Chains A and B, each alone.
Chain A
Amino acid sequence: MGNEHELDAPTDMNMNLMEVCKSYDLPVDGTCGGMAMCASCQVYIETDHVSLEKSNDEQAMLDEAWHVQDNSRLGCQIPITSKLNGLKLKIAPEVVEDNEW
C-alpha cells in the first residue's frame, strides 16, 4: 500500500517479526502461525540488521512463494532482539494483495 509504519517491538516477549507486524494489525496473515509452512509473512529486508541466511525449511517455502527477491525472508523466522533496532523492511506484495483489508 506504500504506507510507512514505525513499530516498537518488545525484546522480552519471545516474539518474531511476523508477530510484531500482526500485533500492529499490519496486513500479514501468518497463516501457519509461524512454522515456516506457508510464506504468508514474506518480507524484504532493507537494512543490514538481519542476515539473509535462511534455514532449509525457510528456503523451501520461499522457493514456492511469489515475488521473491534476494533480500526476502520469512518474518516468522526472525526473532526480535535489540540488534534489530533501526531495521527497515517491506512487506511482500503477495502478502499485502492477499489481505482483504
Chain B
Amino acid sequence: MIKTDIIIIGAGPVGLFTVFEAGLLKLKCHLIDALPITGGQCAEIYPKKPIYDIPGYPEILAGDLVDNLMNQIKPFNPGFTLGETALNIEKLANDQFIVTTKEGTQHQAPVVAIAGGLGVFIPRKPPIQNISSFENKGINYIVKDPDLFKDKRIVISGGGDSALDWALYFANGFCSEVTLIHRSQQFRAHPDSVQRAMDLANNGKLKIILDSEVLELEGEDHLESLTIKTKNADNSIISTDYWLPLFGLTPKLGPIANWGLEIEKNAIVVDNSKDYSTNIEGIYAIGDVNTYPGKLKLILCGFHEGTIMVQSAFKRIYPNKNHVLKYTTVTGIVGFENK
C-alpha cells in the first residue's frame, strides 16, 4: 500500500504543479496516470507546440513546460504510479481514501485531488465489429512488452510516429515478418522515420502497404488473418500472429464517471466559491476535469485551483493546526528529505 498525504489522479501540468503548492505546506503527494509519462495532454498531444498564455513565459513549448514543472517539484519527492489507470476510490470509516488502479496498485491518503484533464487516455480502436474478441488474443493497442512479438509475424496499422517507430523497431530481424499498413500515400510521422522505413522496405525487411486499411479479422481462439481493403484494387488477406492498430490515444472520462461524483457534461462539478471540492468530502477536482459557472479550461486556471485546493486539504489533514501563508521570497524552498 502506497501511503501519502494527497493522491493526485492525473500527472498533467495541473497535477504536477499541485505537488509544488502542497510541498510548500509540507504535504507529500503521489500521482497516478494512465500514461507511462508525466505531462498529460502537453506530453501526449502537443509537446512541440508553443503555449503563449503561461504567466511569465511569452512562449514556451508544451513539453518544456512539463520539464520545468518536473524540476520545480523535484524538491518535494513526489511518488508516481505511471502507466496505470485509477479504477476506483473507496472511502474508509476513518475518512481515509484507498485508490486502486486497474493493475491492482493501492494508494491510501486522507485527500484525493482529481486532476484528470480531459480524462484517461485510451487507444483509439478501429470500428471493426469483432475487434474486442481478439483483444490480447492477437490484437494489442499498446506495446508493453516487445518480447511478446519476438519471431512472430506482425502487422502494424497507422501513419504516425508510434506506428513508424514500432515498425522500425520490429523490422530489423526482431520479428519474422513485419507489415505496415496505412490508409494513404503520406505518413504524418517524422520524415526521418518514414525514410528509414522506406529503406527497410527496399531491402525487403519491411513490407509497406499504402492506400489500404484492415477491413475484417479472422481467427478462432486467436487472430489468424486480416482482410485488407486497398483503393482501386481487390481485397487481400494477410496471415498474421499479431495486429497492432496504432492510431493514437483519445481521452475519455472513464472510471471517474463511476465514483459517485456529480458529473455535468463530462466534467466534475466543484464548489469554486471555496476550494474546488466535489460532492464527496475529501475529494477535490482541479484543472480541465472540473466544471463550475465561468470555468475556463486553461492550464493557468488549473494552477490557481490547485493552489487554493491544497489550503483546504491542509485543514482537512491537520484540523488543529493553524497555517499562515508564507511567501516563497521569504522562506525559499525547503524540500523534503527522505519524507
Contact = CB atoms under 8 A, between A and B. Distances in A.
Do these two chains interact? yes
A57 B184 CA distance: 13
Given A25-B265, A98-B250, A100-B253, A63 B183 contact: yes
A63 B250 contact: no
B182 A63 contact: yes
A99 B253 CA distance: 10
A32 B182 contact: no
Interface residues of B, number: 25
Q: Is the interface of B mostly helix, strand, loop or mixed?
A: loop
A60 B248 CA distance: 13
Interface string B101-114: 00000000000000
Interface residues of A, number: 22
A85 to B, nearest CB: 29
Contacts of B257: 100
B127 A60 contact: no
A29 B266 CA distance: 10
Q: Which of A29, A56, A100, A101 has the most CB of B within 10 A?
A: A100
Nearest to A25: B265
A67 interface: yes
Contacts of B266: 99-101
Interface in A15-63: 25, 29, 31-32, 35, 37-38, 40, 56-57, 59-61, 63
B186 A64 contact: no
Q: Which 8 A-B pairs have the closest CB atoms?
A: A60-B188, A63-B184, A63-B183, A66-B127, A64-B247, A32-B45, A63-B159, A64-B159
Interface of B: 45-46, 49, 118, 124, 126-127, 158-160, 182-184, 186-188, 247-248, 250-253, 257, 265-266
Interface of A: 25, 29, 31-32, 35, 37-38, 40, 56-57, 59-61, 63-64, 66-67, 94, 98-101
Given A60-B188, A98-B252, A101-B266, 19 more contacts: A31-B250, A32-B45, A35-B46, A35-B49, A37-B45, A38-B45, A38-B250, A40-B250, A59-B186, A63-B159, A64-B158, A64-B159, A66-B126, A66-B127, A67-B127, A94-B127, A99-B266, A100-B253, A100-B257
